Every structure is written in structure tokens, then in C-alpha cells.
Amino acid sequence: MSTKERVNFGFANVIRIILIVVAVVLLAFGVFFVFRTRNLADQAFRDAKNVYLALATADIEYYSQGKSIYDPAQYNGLSEGVTERVKVLVDNEGAYRVISYDSKEHRVTGMIYYNKNYYVMYSYANGHSEWEVKYLMPIYTYKD
């Protein structure tokens, strides 16, 4: 084998090793991103359920006083003082809105919880609860 063939053989191996390393790094990044997204989605889901349970607790307290936690005139759908009561019961960074409430059963039937790019939507109908967790990726921000 001549020196020229050895140099080409060595160069081809170096290129092959570089391509393998790049492929492994990209694959590892993809796996990390999937697991990270799933973990943060699970955390948002747990936070949303905690907020829902805190709202149910506040609803019992308000019902005993002859009041309702639901106020459709407010942006977040809650009466005065409910948000502060929920903050006492639940410690999280997300925001939430009650979008529907059954005054006969005294239960929240629709709620949206959002934290960063994760949205958790809750709905209750016909005796069945449904939770949806969504990840929204911002594309760009336009400010005037």
C-alpha cells in the first residue's frame, strides 16, 4: 500500500467518525428534547389538577357561606378573593381561567391552565372529565 492510499484511507475514516459523532449528538439532542417536553407537560398537568382541586376546596368554602366562586363578568371567571384562596392552597407559577361552571352541581366544568408554553384544558360533560395537555411553540413575536 502506498503512502497516498494510506492518507486517503485515514481521511475517509476521519470523515466517517465525524459523521457518526454528529449523528449520535443529534440523536441524543432529539431524545433529550422529547423527554424534557414530556416531563414539563406532566408537571403542567399536575399543576393544573392541583389548581382544580384547590378551586373545588374554595367552592366548598364559598358554598358554605352562600356564595359562588364563579363570576362570568371577570376575565378569569372567579369571584373576588378566590384567586387569593387558591394561592394559599396551591403554590405554582401558572395562570388559569374558569370558562364554565355548573351552579346546580357546584363544580367547575371548564378550565384552562397555562404555564409558559404548556396549556392544560379541562372539561366536564355527561359525567366524564377530560384533560388535554398541549405544547405551543412560539414562532415569532411582533411588537409595534
* Model confidence pLDDT, tens digit, residues 3-48: 555 555 677 788 889 999 999 999 999 999 999 999 999 999 999 9
* pTM exceeding the 0.75 threshold for the entire prediction: yes
Per the CB < 8 A criterion, the answer to whether 88 and 58 are in contact is no
Q: Which residue has the cell 492510499?
A: 5
92 touches 47 (CB < 8 A): yes
SS3 content of the chain, % helix, strand, coil (to 5): 50, 25, 25
Chain segment 90-138, per-residue pLDDT in tens: 988 889 999 999 988 889 999 999 988 899 999 998 889 999 999 987 7
Q: Which residues contact 121 (CB under 8 A, 6 or more apart)?
A: 111, 112, 113, 131, 132, 134
Q: DSSP labels for 28-96? A: HHHHHHHHHHHHHHHHHHHHHHHHHHHHHHHHHHHHHTT--SB-TTSTTSB-TTHHHHHHHH---S-EE
For the stretch 42-99, pLDDT in tens is 999 999 999 999 999 999 999 999 888 998 888 988 988 898 999 989 988 889 999 9
